[in-house]
Amino acid sequence: MATFSGNRGLQMEQPLIFEQGSPDRTAVDLPDVPAVGDRLGGLKRQQPVGLPGLSEPEVVRHYTRLSQKNYCIDSGLYPLGSCTMKHNPRLNEKLARLPGIGDLHPLQPVSTAQGALMIIDACARWLMALTGMPAVAMSPGAGAHGEFVGMAAIRAAHEDRGDARRRVLVPESAHGTNPATAVACGYAVEPIPANRRGRVDIGRLRAALAPDVAAIMVTNPNTCGLFETDILDIAAAAHDVGAYFYCDGANFNAIVGRVRPGDLGVDAMHINLHKTFSTPHGGGGPGSGPVVLSAALAPYAPVPYVVNEGDGLSLVEYAAASDGKPCGRIKGFHGQFGMFVRALAYMMSMGSDGLKQAATDAVINANYVMARLKDVMTPSFDGPCMHEALFDDRFLKGSEITTLDFAKALIDEGYHPMTVYFPLIVPGAMLIEPTETESRQSLDRFIDVMRALAARAVAGDAERFRNAPRFTPRRRLDETSAARHPVLRWRTPAVDRAAE
Amino acid sequence: MLCFTREHEWISVTDDEEGTVGITDYAQKQLGDVVFVELPEVGSRLLQGAQAAVVESVKAASEVYAPASGEVIAVNTALAEDPARVNTDAMGAGWFFKIRLDDPGELAGLLSEGDYREHVEALH
Amino acid sequence: MRYLPLNDSDRRAMLAAIGVADADALFQDVPAGVLDRPIALPAHQDELSVERAFQRLAALNLAPSSVPCFLGGGLYRHHVPAAVDHLIQRGEFLTAYTPYQPELAQGTLHALFEFQTQVAMLTGMEIANASMYDGATATAEAAMMATRIAKRRRIVVSGGLHPHYGDVVATYARFHGLAVERLAGDWQGIEDAAAAVDGATACVIVQNPDVFGRIHDLTPLAETCHACGILLIAVVTEAVSLGLLRSPGEMGADIVAGEGQSLGNATSFGGPTVGLLAARETFVRQMPGRLAGATRDVDGRRGFVLTLSTREQHIRRDKATSNICTNSGLCALAFSIHVSLLGEAGMRRLAELNHARAVMAAQRLAEIPGVAVCNETFFNEFTVALPCPAAPVVEHMAAAGVLGGVPLSRLFPEDPLMTPLLLVAVTETATDEDIDRLVATLSAALQA
């Protein structure tokens, strides 16, 4: 039943900020502008921007109400497979904002920023030790950006030997960023199918490997939540034809502190600090994607990087100043420094013992979910999983309920859905990653809900699933009309009417 | 003459060797609601089997390949405003583009309506 | 260990339910000899110890908030209202994922839709995306986008573009197999970018105000470009300037790439910040990155979703417009909240205040014997020529407790003409006393 206001209890309707306020109002008091002549060369803005004006309490209320329409890891289990929604410690946020850290300017003299360079250097050393790799490029802005750097370094290394290679092999189960990155680095992508155990089909991989293959891009543990059992043979096969082994490190959190990718023959691997090392996802970013490199690729790392010249740390900011052969610069300034602070604080808090325990607990939690759901849902593969439990939609067969319906019904039960329809190699995939953040009690409650939903689905209550979610601020949204007739910004009602 | 490809395109050819190309009803059902169609440029030349267009639903993008070689002589501009035509009338108002065939002999390698129906049934 | 809820009895019970003897059995797929090789790293630490360690590291730095600071060159120190940081630290914003399930993420999506609108309004463009990593990568993506739209393979880069941005464009272009023509660092403001275009040129990239602080009327260049089917990409590194200057859109830019750090975000030693990307609406399908769009739910109520996703890597894979996945969501939110707090009047006044403070500082610096202000025009940053190399002067000033500017040799290390040039940024944070100290320490450093 509708209310007069549109509000329902604590669920508040909130207009767009442009539909509030008036242009003369402001939430920021500023001093009077001194009367000095302008030096704008006649290029002063003539038209208003069109922004609304609001007081501080109005703005605070606006964003507070918006925030209340979001699900988050602070409020509940967030089982998005492949995304790693683990707890974001608040100490990290505090430290990133300390005077002398948060307010540092990237172009202040390096003599006045030695502590900052030590933070970058320490973060780099932790990452190298945990991966067993001799070098790391710290500047990539996020995981996909790290992939770009790793593949750029690979291409630079081949080209340096006059070895023009054209193909990159990518398993079909890979994240979409892998093929997109290979193309961004000028390569043609060739998909490699998975075998029936959810691993790379090494026979097909070997058949596709040839001297024109620049690299293979393999995720390990893979996107099915499984460790690639043939990983050493895969690396050797790639190296045998002179190709490099790029490892997508999105799932490093399953093995951190226990397995060093350097021991698996990896030549390059990005690390999503916002996954494995607890920096917040922030509704879509910012991330940070340092990429560790083998000795063969290290000379091609991009600028900038930190060096120790005896009398303190300094930055190599330009290719000409480098004694290597950098693949270029890929981001302004020195990388996502604020994320290095948070990740380093997390690594120091956890220590090598804590990181190992976190990986172990993440794997225990996923296997516990798998063990307690496998009789009512359909696991895609046999055997223990790593940090993710993967199910497909066979258990829904005949129910007229899709994976999407099942996910939306979970929303009504107070949970964010698992990752759905990924990896692509599994029909109607449901990929559950509980992470080490969840207690046994929390998992038991989640499992009870999942079992109840599965039972209800099999019993044929399709209506309940198709109409879900019912209790959220908005119910299912019309994505088709959003894409057919994109409305990507607010316009004044007069402009909108004129457009119609 | 109406021919089909295994990749779910159709081509309808007139006596003066002009072909109209679209995707089949089966293909539009597999895609779901079509939200956008990227069409080739009029005057561009296509080779049989090469990518000619892209059709997008909310969650998927599929390439459309030229069933035969030739020069593009018209595109269905109405799809820009109303891509839903691909769903409602895939074999008619939802056509993509027209080409002037280089070699009508290429059509011999395509499927007849009956062969295509068998091909689709075999997919299930 | 404070971040881990499982205890040993939980683990034992769970392993029993799984049906294995110990946790190592779950790692059975790891090749023999690879599991648990020793890693030489310290053990876990309590919160207070970690905090102390970072305080010690912070104390080794000269904190710009503690001294007069005139650093710019692409990132700027502004006062960020307290409400911004409070709101972005709400867990519902801070600890949410990308809004792929719109029913559970209307807060993020609604805020992104507002951000896109604000960026479009400020830049004078029709549409904007939900953010990029930073200004430099936004510029590189804009250049890649322009080559797809124009279907040409040459990029002309103005010598007024921030060198980091030019370097990133060059790196992206190299791996895409595109040609880049970089014009020399134009500290005198005499460049004619239009003369560098030819029939193969896809786009011209210019910065306004440029890296030396000069303001340009882009209209004539836009006209030249458009006559030849070339796209004009305007880059803005100081977003506050948009409150006072003619917008790039008004001057004919086709794509605007920018750095949004100045609004809502700390300088944070260079990152994370927020890349802005705005364009004409007809280019939307060539635009990289996420886009929030308005639609209706099944009950007919307005709501928001991520849309046009078929451009993106998670659907289009090797045919995507870019490989970008994560963006700068939380920094974009901070930008947006700051703009909302300022509003039309506050945005204008903040920009006017920056300009007035900079004009005052420029007048004072010009009075120092041997010092000349190079710029005819500027917003809140300008270049001064010193009678000696600028880098040692800056070190000298820092030792005296003033962050007096960026020596242009830091940004253009291979151009000897830059050696005596100092880039000075003056924002609303600079007090009269700060400007006095800038003048005094610079004078003293020149005499030393």
Contacts of B33 in chain A (CB under 8 A): 480, 484
Contacts of A145 in chain C (CB under 8 A): 133, 137, 323-324
Q: Which chains touch A (3 or more CB pairs under 8 A)?
A: B, C
Chain A CB within 8 Å of residue C261 CB: no
On the CB side of C249, how many CA atoms lie within 13 Å of its CA?
A: 20
Q: Give the pLDDT band (50/70/90) at residue A497.
A: low
C111 to chain A: closest CA residue: A66
C319 to chain B: closest CA residue: B61
Cβ count within 10 A of residue C282: 11
Domains identified in chain A and CATH numbers: 92-346 (3.40.640.10), 353-473 (3.90.1150.10)
Six-digit token string for B107: 């059509």
Range C82-338: architecture per CATH? 3-Layer(aba) Sandwich (3.40)
Answer yes or no: do A483 and B36 touch at CB < 8 A.
Answer: yes
Facing residue for C215 by CB, picked from A43, A74, A129? A43
Chain A CB within 8 Å of residue C401 CB: no
- The DSSP string of A420-432 is ES-STTSTT-EEE
Considering only CA atoms, which of A178, A110, A145, A94 is closest in space to residue A335? Answer: A145
Q: For residue A159, is pLDDT > 90?
A: yes
Answer yes or no: do C310 and B61 touch at CB < 8 A.
Answer: yes
Look over chain A and give the mean of its residue pLDDT values, rounded to a whole number.
95
Chain A CB within 8 Å of residue C50 CB: yes
Question: How confident is the model over A289-303, as a mean pLDDT?
Answer: 97
Q: For residue A500, is pLDDT > 60?
A: no
Question: How confident is the model over A79-89, as a mean pLDDT?
Answer: 96
B84 to chain A: closest CA residue: A484
Range B2-103: architecture per CATH? Beta Barrel (2.40)
Distance CA A349, CA A135 (A): 23
The separation between CA A352 and the C-alpha centre of its own chain, rounded to angstroms, equals 23
Q: For residue A219, what are the β-bridge partners?
A: A248
**How many residues are listed for chain A in this entry?**
500
Q: Give the pLDDT band (50/70/90) at residue A498.
A: low
Distance CA C194, CA C220 (A): 9
Q: For residue A332, is pLDDT > 60?
A: yes
Helix H or strand E encompassing B10: strand B9-13
Contacts of B61 in chain C (CB under 8 A): 310, 315-316, 319
Q: For residue A98, is pLDDT > 80?
A: yes
Q: Which chains touch B (3 or more CB pairs under 8 A)?
A: A, C
A486 to chain B: closest CA residue: B35
First to last CA, chain C: 55
Strands A305-308 and A313-316 turn out to be antiparallel
Phi, psi (deg, nearest 5) at residue B76? -85, 85
Residues (pLDDT < 50) of chain C are: none
Cβ count within 10 A of residue C433: 9
Contacts of B83 in chain A (CB under 8 A): 484
Q: Is the ipTM of this complex over 0.90?
A: yes
Facing residue for A106 by CB, picked from C28, C133, C269? C269
Distance CA B82, CA B37 (A): 10
Chain A CB within 8 Å of residue C269 CB: yes
Contacts of A328 in chain C (CB under 8 A): 167-168, 170-171, 174
Q: Give the pLDDT band (50/70/90) at residue B85.
A: very high
Best to test chain B binding among A404, A480, A481 (most B CBs inside 10 Å): A480
Chain A CB within 8 Å of residue B94 CB: no
Answer yes or no: do B84 and A484 touch at CB < 8 A.
Answer: yes
**How many residues are listed for chain B in this entry?**
124
Chain A residues within 8 angstroms (CB to CB) of chain B: 421, 479-480, 483-484
Answer yes or no: do B35 and A483 touch at CB < 8 A.
Answer: yes
Answer yes or no: do A479 and B58 touch at CB < 8 A.
Answer: yes
Compute the nearest-CA separation of A391 from chain C (Å).
16
Contacts of A100 in chain C (CB under 8 A): 57-63, 66
Answer yes or no: do A483 and B58 touch at CB < 8 A.
Answer: yes
Three-class secondary structure of residue C68 per DSSP: coil
Q: Domain ranges for chain C, please list them.
A: 67-79+343-447, 82-338
Distance CA A264, CA A292 (A): 13
Q: Give the pLDDT band (50/70/90) at residue A496.
A: low
Domain C67-79+343-447, classified CATH 3.40.50.150, yes or no: no
Chain A CB within 8 Å of residue C219 CB: no
Q: What share of chain B is helix, strand, coil (3-state, %, to 5)?
A: 25, 35, 40
Considering only CA atoms, which of A289, A250, A262, A272 is closest in space to residue A129? Answer: A262
Answer yes or no: do A264 and C34 touch at CB < 8 A.
Answer: yes
Considering only CA atoms, which of A350, A335, A349 is closest in space to residue A120? Answer: A335
Contact indicator for C202, C146 with CB cutoff of 8 Å: yes
Question: How confident is the model over B4-22, as a mean pLDDT?
Answer: 94
Q: What 8-state DSSP symbol labels residue A4?
A: S
Contact indicator for C196, C149 with CB cutoff of 8 Å: no
**Confidence (pLDDT) at A499:** 54
Residue linked to tokens 């005896």: A310
Contacts of B28 in chain A (CB under 8 A): none
Q: Write the pLDDT tens digit of every residue in C153-180.
A: 999 999 999 999 999 999 999 999 999 9
Three-class secondary structure of residue C391 per DSSP: helix
High-pLDDT (> 70) share of chain A, %: 99
Considering only CA atoms, which of A334, A305, A159 is closest in space to residue C174? Answer: A159
Answer yes or no: do C342 and A27 touch at CB < 8 A.
Answer: yes
Facing residue for C323 by CB, picked from A43, A108, A147? A147
Distance CA A323, CA C330 (A): 37
Question: How confident is the model over B44-71, as a mean pLDDT?
Answer: 93
High-pLDDT (> 90) share of chain A, %: 93
Chain A CB within 8 Å of residue C388 CB: no
Contact indicator for A21, A58 with CB cutoff of 8 Å: yes
Chain A CB within 8 Å of residue B58 CB: yes
Distance CA C53, CA A351 (A): 14
Question: How confident is the model over A50-74, as a mean pLDDT?
Answer: 98
B32 to chain A: closest CA residue: A480
Q: For residue A316, what are the β-bridge partners?
A: A305
Chain C CB within 8 Å of residue A49 CB: yes
Chain C CB within 8 Å of residue A335 CB: yes
Q: Do the domains C67-79+343-447 and C82-338 sit in the same CATH topology, yes or no?
A: no
Chain B CB within 8 Å of residue C310 CB: yes
Considering only CA atoms, which of A13, A57, A83 is closest in space to residue A223? Answer: A83
Contact indicator for C97, A294 with CB cutoff of 8 Å: no
Answer yes or no: do A26 and C47 touch at CB < 8 A.
Answer: no
Chain B CB within 8 Å of residue C319 CB: yes
Cβ count within 10 A of residue B22: 30
Considering only CA atoms, which of A354, A333, A415, A407 is closest in space to residue A377? Answer: A407
Compute the nearest-CA separation of C307 from chain B (Å).
8
Question: How confident is the model over B95-112, as a mean pLDDT?
Answer: 95
Answer yes or no: do A102 and C266 touch at CB < 8 A.
Answer: yes
Residue linked to tokens 């490199």: A293
Q: Write the pLDDT tens digit of every residue in A434-443.
A: 999 999 999 9
Contacts of A89 in chain C (CB under 8 A): 3
